[in-house]
Chain A
Amino acid sequence: MNQGIDLQASFVEALTQLGVPQAAARAAWMPLPMLVVIIGVTMGLLVSVWLERKISAAAQQRIGPEYIGPLGMLAPVADGLKLVFKEDIVPAKADPLLFTAGPVIVLLPVFLSYLVVPFGQNLVITDLGTGVFFWIAMGSVQPIGLLMSGYSSNNKYSLLGGLRAAAQSISYEIPLALSVLAVVMMSNSLSTIGIVDQQTGYGILSWNLWRQPVGFVIFLISALAECERLPFDLPEAEEELVAGYQTEYAGMRFGLFYIASYVNLILASLLASVLFLGGWSFPIPMEQIGTWLGVDAGGALWQFAAAGIGIGMILLKTYFFIFLAILMRWTVPRVRIDQLLDLGWKFLLPVALVNLLLTAALKLAFPVAFGG
C-alpha cells in the first residue's frame, strides 16, 4: 500500500530546509489544513444550497435562481449576505445567553467532525484512532443546542420543535451507531482512513456497500433523520410548528442553523461515501490503472493525479448522496412524530442489531471476506 502524497511531510521538510526549526515548521503547518477544510466546506455548503434550489426547481417545474450570477450560482451567496445584514433580534422574553449559544452549539460540532473526514490517504486533518466514533459523539452534542434554542426562545412552537429534535436525534443515533459499528467490525478500525483502506483492494467490488447492504440502508435513513431533512424534518415542520426551534431566530443566528443543517448534510454524505462507497477510491484501483499505463506509482505527477482523482471521487459520491437527499425532500410527505419514533425504535433498531450480529457471525465464518 503506497502512502500517496504527504503534504505535511513535504511542507515540514521544505521549511526545515529553509532553516526553520522542526517544531515551528510543524506548528506552522497546523492551521493550514483547517483553513482549507473550512473554506472547502463553505464552498460545499454554497454548492449544496444552489443544488437544493436548482433541483427543487427542476422537480417543481420551475427555473429556480437564474439572474444572480451564471445559472443563479451566486444565489446562496446573496442569501448569506442578506442574513448577515439583517437585524439581529433577540425576543424580549428570551434568554439571551442560551438563545445565542444554541446555534453555536449546533454549528460547532458539525465543523469539528470534519477533523476526521478523509479526502485521500494523507488528506485528512487528523487521523484519529476513534475516527467515526468521534463523529457520532459530536453528532450527539447537536440536539443539546437545538433543545437550548428551542427552550430559550420563549415560544411554544420553538419548544415543541426543540423537544422533537432531541427525541429524533436520540432515537436515530442508535441505529446509526449500530450500522457504523458493523462496518467498523469488518474494518477492524474506527479510523476513517483504516475503513477506506480496507475497501480499496478490488476497486468497486470491495466497497462495503456489497457486504453491508442492510447497514447501508439503515445508515442512509438514520443519517437523513439526523440531518432533519424530509421525510424526517419534524423539528422544523413548517405546516405544524411554523419553523420549529428556528421560529424566533433571524439574521445571522438563523444563518448559523441554516449553515449547520447543510454542512451536516454534506458531512453525513461524506461519511456515507467513506463508510460504504470506499471513500476516495476509484471504481478500479488506481495502482492497477498505474501498472496498465506503465507509470511509476511513486512519481510526483502520478501521485498528484491520483490524489486529484481521489478528491474528485469522494466529492462525486458525496454529491450523489446530497442529490438523493434533495430529491427525497421534494418528493415525499413528512412522517408523523409517532411514526418516526416507531420507525426508529421498533424497526431500525432491531434490524440494525440483527445486522450487527449477522456481520459478527459472518466475520467468524468467512474471515477472508468480512475482515477477520
Chain B
Amino acid sequence: MVMIETKAERMVINLGPHHPSMHGVLRLLVTLDGENVVDCEPVLGYLHRSMEKIAENRTVIQYLPYVTRWDYIATMFTEAITVNAPEKLANVPVPKRASYIRVIMLELSRIANHLLWVGPFLADVGAQTPFFYIFRERELIYDLFEAATGMRMMHNYFRVGGVAADLPYGWVDKAQDFCEYFLPKVDEYERLITDNPIFRRRVEGIGTISREDAINWGLSGPMLRASGVKWDLRKVDHYECYDDFDWQVAWDSGGDCMARYTVRMREMRESVKIVQQALAALPGGPYENLEAKRIASGPKSEWSAPDYQFISKKPSPTFKIPNGEHYVRMESSKGELGIYLIGEDSVFPWRWKIRPPGFVNLQVLPQLVRGMKIADIMAILGSIDIIMGEVDR
C-alpha cells in the first residue's frame, strides 16, 4: 500500500529529571516523530549517593540504616540482603523464629511494594483514583512494620544472625487480621482495574518482551516471570524458610504490560498465602543468633555475662566480615537483588557491589518504547517498576 509520507522535523523532547511520571529523577531524551517515539535514551545518576563506597567504611550495623534508602518502597529486602551477604560469608546460623519473622516481613514488604506499584502504574495510564486506594492497605502494612520495628519505612530491623527485636505482643493477630482484610481488597482492585476496557487497550500488547529477550537482557522478577519464565529465587535458591510454605510462582506468558500487571497482582495473593502460613507456624525460641547461643549454653553461659547481656547482646558492632568473596542474591519485589561482597577479615567490607533489579530491568526500556506512542512510554516505564534510589544508588 502506498502511504503518504509526512516529512516532519524530528523533535527531541526531554522528559525529566523532574516530570510527573518519571518515578523520581529518571531522565529520558526522547526523539519524537509526531506522537511516535523514534528513540529514547535514559540518563541516569541524578540520585547517585555512593551507596557502594559508603559501605566500604561502615560496619554492617553502621551501614544498615543506609540500605533502606536504596529501594525505599520495598525496604525490608534491602536490609535482608545486607545481612544475608555477611551472614552467608561468615556462616552465621539464623534461628528458625528469626527466619520466619524475616519471611513475614519480606512478604509484607513485597505486598507494600506491589501496592505502591499498581497505584502509580494506573496513574501513569491516566487513572488517578487507585493511587489513593492502595495507601489504605499500605498504611496497615506500615502500621505493622511500625509496631514491630519502630519505624514505618526505614526500619533498621534486620541484624546479622536474626532480627533486631522480637515481635511485640499481639502483633501476630494483627498481621493475621490484615491478611484476612487484604485478600478481598485485591479482588476489589481486580474488579476495578483488570477488565476496564480502556485499561486493557492501554496495556495489552504494549512493551512486549519475548522469553528469549527477557533472559538475554538479564531481566528478573515480575519482568522476567511475565515473559513466561518460571524463575523465582525463592524457589530456586531455597533461602530463608520459603520451602516450608505452600505457594506458587506467579507467572504469565504474555510478556506485555498486562502480563506484568497480572503477575504482580497474583504475587500479592501468593505473598498473603505465605504470610498466613508463616504466622500460623511461627515457631518459638530466640529471634536472634547470639540469643540462641545464650539459651543453648545454659544458665552459666558466657553470653549471660553483663558484657553480652547489656552491652552487645545484639550482634556486635565489631562483627568481622571474614576473608573471601561471594555473591548473595534474593528475590526482591522488583527482581534479583544481589550483593557481591569481598571481605578481608575486617569490620568493613572491602567491596560491596550492589546488583539492583531496577537498574538491570530499566536498560530494556529504549528497546520497548521504540516505535510506540509517547503515551506508551509511561505505561511501559510504569510496568518496569523502577525506584530511582535503587537504580542510581
Q: Is the CB of B126 within 8 A of A61?
A: no
For A233, list chain B residues within 8 Å (CB): 126
| Residue from B35, B132, B198 within 8 A of A335 (CB atoms) | B198
B248: Cβ under 8 A from any A Cβ? no
A329 to B199, CA, bound (A): 14
For B309, list chain A residues within 8 Å (CB): none
| Residue from B19, B35, B125, B133 within 8 A of A334 (CB atoms) | B125
For B378, list chain A residues within 8 Å (CB): 239-240
Those of A191-236 within 8 Å (CB) of chain B: 230-231, 233-234
The answer to whether residues A59 and B129 also contact, given A156-B13, A333-B196 and a CB cut-off of 8 A, is yes
Instruction: Mark contacts of B19-47 with chain A using CB atoms, 8 A cut-off: 1 yes-contact digit, 0 otherwise.
Output: 11100000000000001000000000000
Those of B344-386 within 8 Å (CB) of chain A: 373-378
Report the minimum CB–CB distance from A325 to chain B (whole Å): 15
Q: Is the CB of A237 within 8 A of B126?
A: yes
Report the minimum CB–CB distance from B82 to chain A (whole Å): 34
A239 to B19, CA, bound (A): 8
A238 to B131, CA, bound (A): 15
Instruction: Mark contacts of A231-271 with chain B using CB atoms, 8 A cut-off: 1 yes-contact digit, 0 otherwise.
Output: 10110011110100000000000000000000000000000
Report the minimum CB–CB distance from B124 to chain A (whole Å): 5
For A230, list chain B residues within 8 Å (CB): 126
A335 to B203, CA, bound (A): 11
| Residue from A61, A156, A338 within 8 A of B133 (CB atoms) | A61
A56 to B20, CA, bound (A): 20
A335 to B123, CA, bound (A): 12
Q: Is the CB of A336 within 8 A of B129?
A: no
Q: Is the CB of B201 within 8 A of A339?
A: yes
For A337, list chain B residues within 8 Å (CB): 35, 373-375
A330: Cβ under 8 A from any B Cβ? yes
Interface size class of B (residues with CB under 8 A): 20 to 34
Those of B102-154 within 8 Å (CB) of chain A: 122-129, 132-133, 136
A332 to B128, CA, bound (A): 8
Report the minimum CB–CB distance from A329 to chain B (whole Å): 9
B185: Cβ under 8 A from any A Cβ? no
Q: Is the CB of B132 within 8 A of A238?
A: no
- The A-B contact count (CB < 8 A) is 80
B174: Cβ under 8 A from any A Cβ? no
B211: Cβ under 8 A from any A Cβ? no
The answer to whether residues A239 and B373 also contact, given A59-B129, A156-B11, A335-B198 and a CB cut-off of 8 A, is no
Q: Is the CB of A331 within 8 A of B129?
A: yes
For B375, list chain A residues within 8 Å (CB): 234, 237, 239-240, 334, 336-337
For A333, list chain B residues within 8 Å (CB): 122, 125-127, 196, 198-199, 202
Residue of B with least CB distance to A155: B13
For A239, list chain B residues within 8 Å (CB): 20-21, 123-126, 375, 378
A327 to B19, CA, bound (A): 26
Q: Is the CB of B124 within 8 A of A61?
A: no
For A338, list chain B residues within 8 Å (CB): 35, 373
Interface size class of A (residues with CB under 8 A): 20 to 34
A322: Cβ under 8 A from any B Cβ? no
A237 to B136, CA, bound (A): 26
A19 to B113, CA, bound (A): 79
Instruction: Mark contacts of A40-63 with chain B using CB atoms, 8 A cut-off: 1 yes-contact digit, 0 otherwise.
Output: 000000000000000010011110
A272: Cβ under 8 A from any B Cβ? no
A146 to B169, CA, bound (A): 61
For A234, list chain B residues within 8 Å (CB): 375
A160: Cβ under 8 A from any B Cβ? yes
Residue of A with least CB distance to B376: A336
Q: Is the CB of B374 within 8 A of A160?
A: yes
The answer to whether residues A332 and B198 also contact, given A156-B11, A239-B378 and a CB cut-off of 8 A, is yes
A157 to B136, CA, bound (A): 34
Report the minimum CB–CB distance from B182 to chain A (whole Å): 16
A230 to B128, CA, bound (A): 10
For A156, list chain B residues within 8 Å (CB): 11, 13
A211 to B257, CA, bound (A): 42
Q: Is the CB of B373 within 8 A of A60?
A: no
| Residue from B20, B125, B198 within 8 A of A242 (CB atoms) | B20
For A59, list chain B residues within 8 Å (CB): 129
A62 to B131, CA, bound (A): 12
Those of A326-372 within 8 Å (CB) of chain B: 330-339
Q: What are the nearest 10 A-B pairs in CB distance? A: A334-B126, A60-B132, A239-B21, A333-B127, A333-B126, A333-B125, A336-B375, A156-B13, A239-B378, A333-B198
Please give 17 more A-B residue pairs, beta carbons under 8 A apart, in addition to A62-B132, A231-B198, A335-B201.
A59-B129, A60-B132, A156-B13, A233-B126, A237-B126, A238-B21, A240-B377, A242-B19, A332-B127, A333-B199, A333-B202, A334-B125, A334-B127, A335-B126, A335-B202, A336-B202, A337-B35
A-B contact pairs, 25 of them (CB 8 A): A60-B132, A157-B13, A160-B374, A234-B375, A237-B375, A238-B20, A239-B125, A239-B378, A240-B21, A240-B375, A330-B129, A332-B198, A333-B122, A333-B196, A333-B198, A333-B199, A334-B126, A334-B127, A334-B202, A334-B375, A335-B198, A335-B202, A338-B373, A339-B201, A339-B202
